[in-house]
Structure 1
């Protein structure tokens, strides 16, 4: 076999054998400082007055692939953020300015596999 043929064969098969990234941590928080989440949020209710939300993920495996953070507001997709994974252990995050309503956050692998989903409601009461 020629080298060119082997290279072509490997380039076609490599997406099939790439491992799906394994989420080791998913954290909803107010900010990230020195690559660590701060102001961690618990539960399904967003605190009143919160104007920014951060979705922090740590993965093992998947170097060279992308992780997708999807942000939905009241059922409508607001953002699909593709985050490259630079190593087999990688921390990455995305953030959105939020408003009162229902937010659904999803984390997907490059092949579209749903790895995480969480719905949050921010109260509209004063």
Structure 2
């Protein structure tokens, strides 16, 4: 305590004395880097999962297929949960919570679709605070609604030569 008082007394006696030690006497410390926000590196709809990977990429599905999967490759969310939210015509049909065991972490959910639920679907991956990490849409249509192959065009007649 005497040393502290002596130092304080010396500074009070000499107002020109620096209040703190010069910067050269202290090692520079950089602020700790901010933790990167959680993110989804990849996401896609698929007809199946093999070895924790999607087998294909789907943007449309005929209603003779009733199961679809949403795959997400998550980063910087280890130990947390994400949710896959499946929406049909603006209505939440189901929310599937998924544990994230580390980083990176691959996970997926699936949805069984009723053949009458045709139209636009949206699947969103959200973090524990409700922030959207990834979103994608797909169209679920009746088999009869699938575009038929267009007939081959008739051969074009030769154009008349213009003078």
TM over 0.5: yes
Matched, 1:35 2:81: no
- Structure number having the greater strand percentage: 1
- The correspondence of residues 88-99 of structure 1 with structure 2, limited to 5 A, is 88-98=103-113, 99=115
Please, which runs of 5 or more residues in structure 2 have no aligned partner?
1-33, 145-163
Contact 2:62–2:143 (CA<8 Å) still a contact in 1? no
User: How many residues are aligned here?
Assistant: 108
Give the TM-score normalised by the residue count of structure 1: 0.76
Maintained 8 Å contact 2:62/2:140 = yes
Separation (CA, whole Å) in 2 of partners of 1:53 and 1:87: 25
Greater relative CO (CA pairs within 8 A, separation 6+) = 1
The alignment's TM-score, normalised by the length of structure 2, stands at 0.60
Over the residues paired in the alignment, what is the CA RMSD in angstroms?
1.8
Distance (whole Å) between structure 2 residues aligned to residue 75 and residue 69 of structure 1: 15
Cα deviation code 1:82-102 (max 9, x no counterpart): 101001110000000123222
Q: Which runs of 5+ in 1 are unaligned?
A: 1-16
